[in-house]
Amino acid sequence: MMIEVFKTNVQEKDRSKMLIQKLLEQFPASKINFDLEDCDKILRVEGKDFCAHRIIELLKLNGHYCEILT
């Protein structure tokens, strides 16, 4: 099981729900959620078969900043 945490610029709850749907289409076995209350607008992905680079690219394609939180 892998867990990856990303810093994003997603602000709206509706937008986060849409992005979660898109991510689940790519990584259906993953558990995905946003913490929009956090100052880094955290995206957390937990699962076995996901690619952090593809997650970053998917958010960028949808107009959002995304990087792995270090």
Quote the pLDDT of residue 47: 97
- What is the value of pTM for the model shown? 0.95
Domain 2-68 CATH (choose: 3.30.70.100, 3.20.80.10, 3.40.50.2300, 3.40.50.720):
3.30.70.100
Q: Which residues of the chain have pLDDT under 70?
A: none
Cα–Cα dist 60/66, whole Å: 7
pLDDT value of position 60: 98
